[in-house]
Amino acid sequence: MLAAREVTVRFGGLTAVDQVSATLQSGELVGIIGPNGAGKTTFFNAISGVLAPTSGRLIVAGDDLTGKGPHRFAKHGLARTFQTPRVFADMSVAQNIEFGLKFAGRRHRKYWLWGEEASVPWALRDAGNILQLIGLSAQAELPAGSITPSQQRLLEIGMALATRPRLLLLDEVAAGLTENEIENMAALVRRLRDELGLTVVWIEHAVRTLLRHVERVIVLHQGRKIADGPPAEVVRNAEVIEAYLGDEMVEEGAA
Ligand SMILES: Nc1ncnc2c1ncn2[C@@H]1O[C@H](COP(=O)(O)OP(=O)(O)OP(=O)(O)O)[C@@H](O)[C@H]1O
């Protein structure tokens, strides 16, 4: 689905992402964790075309998109959310979803997960179904700027889904949510992979939740990838414990 080959991003003298290689297989649910400033969002920005890597290559669905803009990545089936949700505040919740659906119509069929309109899963057929999937049917006619921040996070996911992606990048969609909301969010993310067949990459600071739901986790530290594997293995990795997790997490992971 996507291959990052020795991707490096520098801002002046600072190396935010340092020769990170990673391959994402179709249908994987992968977490990315790491301390503040580890380079997680910068890595997302690089693999979604938001910023061009200083060096390295990005292959998406078999095509080399290194240096291309976000619209090219989107045409190749990639959608993402941002740490601060980006919704059209003055438009209604439903209109925000419809905007994404219009975008889906412009995507080249080659990169659609569902080749024919008729094969698009029921949950993504129209704005009403997408609103039901993300749990915002009751808010459909409200201005997007008037719903709660956690609902805006759901809406942003809905807008991304409306473009009918194959690969979805989620940047801290559980930030600022209550325990209950975090569990609901995790359940939604699971459904996107399990029922819709999306490949999902999920950056999150709520590490305990993340590790319970993903089957593979990549750990970044000071721009470098220091681990990449199943959660049970990664929580025992000495470098990961030292850099990020601490002893308490290891005991919980072992339990
Ligand atoms: N546009 C930019 N210009 C200069 N430096 C930047 C820019 N974006 C990020 N950085 C720096 O790059 C490093 C990595 O930042 P990044 O936001 O990718 O980390 P992160 O792991 O996502 O952190 P957090 O968990 O706090 O969101 C940090 O030192 C940050 O200050």
Ligand 1 close to Cβ of residue 219 (< 6 A)? no
Q: What is the pLDDT of residue 205?
A: 86
Structure tokens at 141: 């006619």
Domain ranges of the chain: 27-37+69-254
CATH of 27-37+69-254, one of 3.40.50.300, 1.10.3720.10, 1.25.40.10, 3.30.470.10: 3.40.50.300
pLDDT for the residue numbered 84: 81
Give the tens place of pLDDT for each residue, 10-29: 999 999 999 999 999 999 99
Predicted TM-score of the model (pTM): 0.91
- Helix residue ranges per DSSP H, 163-217: 179-194, 207-213
Convert the pLDDT of each residue in 111-163 to its tens digit: 666 666 667 788 888 899 999 999 999 999 999 999 999 999 999 999 999 98
Q: Which residue has the higher pLDDT, 252 or 233?
A: 233
* pLDDT tens digit sequence for 33-55: 999 999 999 999 999 999 999 99
SS3 assignment, position 173: coil
- Tell which wins on pLDDT, 141 or 84: 141
Kindly give the distance from the C-alpha atom of residue 57 to the centroid of ligand 1, in angstroms, as a whole number: 20
Atom of ligand 1 at shortest range from CA of 34: 21
Q: How confident is the model at residue 255 (pLDDT cuts 50, 70, 90)?
A: very low
3-state secondary structure 51-67: CCCCEEEEEECCEECCC
Burial category of 171 from C-beta neighbours within 10 Å (exposed 0-12, middle 13-18, buried 19 and up) = buried
Print the SS3 string covering 67-97: CCCHHHHHHCCEEECCCCCCCCCCCEHHHHH
| Collapsed DSSP state (helix, strand, coil) of residue 31 | strand
> 90 alpha carbon to ligand 1 midpoint, in Å?
30
Q: How far is CA 25 from CA 20, 58, 111, 183, in A?
A: 16, 14, 15, 25
Q: How far lies 249's CA from each of 151, 176, 177, 208, in Å?
A: 30, 21, 21, 8
Nearest CA to ligand 1 atom 30: 37
The 10s digit of each residue's pLDDT in 174-229 is: 998 998 999 999 999 999 999 999 999 999 988 888 999 999 999 999 999 999 99
